[in-house]
Amino acid sequence: MTTADTLLLFSLMALVTLAQRASFIVLGDRVTMPPLLRRALAYVPAAVLAAIVTPALFRESGVGVGPVDVRLLAGLVAALVAWRTKSIIATFATGMVALWTLTYLVG
């Protein structure tokens, strides 16, 4: 594969990505999504956040309370706050404060 072929390939991939993203802006309200798809898309942000956070919770950081890692404990505290308050900012803030506090006290 030559340099020109590689540049052409990347340019075409960029155009396809741009077309996909721009379609929601350009088409706007002219195209309606089915209700099932609209309901399914409402869960995408939570699913993406869970996919990013969950592996970090179960990876060992080296600081633990007995057999339990402080990341998992801080995650449990954040989950409890999320369940009770339904506030993203309170969840992040509480989770980070819990992680820092537990790391300071245990580590």
Mean pLDDT of the chain: 89
Q: What is the pLDDT of residues 19-64, one digit of tens each?
A: 998 988 888 778 888 999 989 999 998 899 889 988 888 877 766 6
End-to-end alpha carbon distance in the chain: 52
Q: Could you give the CA distance from residue 51 to residue 44 in angstroms, rounded to a whole number?
A: 10
Q: Could you give the CA distance from residue 106 to residue 27 in angstroms, rounded to a whole number?
A: 54
- Chain centre distance of CA 39: 19
Mean pLDDT (whole number) for 73-90: 93
pLDDT in the model for residue 15: 96
CA dihedral of residues 88, 91, 92, 96 (deg, nearest 10): 180
**Is the pTM for the entire model greater than 0.75?**
no
**Contact partners, residue 58, CB within 8 Å, separation at least 6:** 69, 71, 72
pLDDT in the model for residue 16: 96
Greater confidence (32 vs 95) lies with 95
Confidence check: pLDDT of 92 > 80: yes
On the CB side of 74, CA atoms within 13 Å amount to 26
Q: Could you give the CA distance from residue 72 to residue 61 in angstroms, rounded to a whole number?
A: 10
Tokens of 8: 């052409």
Q: What percent of the chain has pLDDT over 70?
A: 95
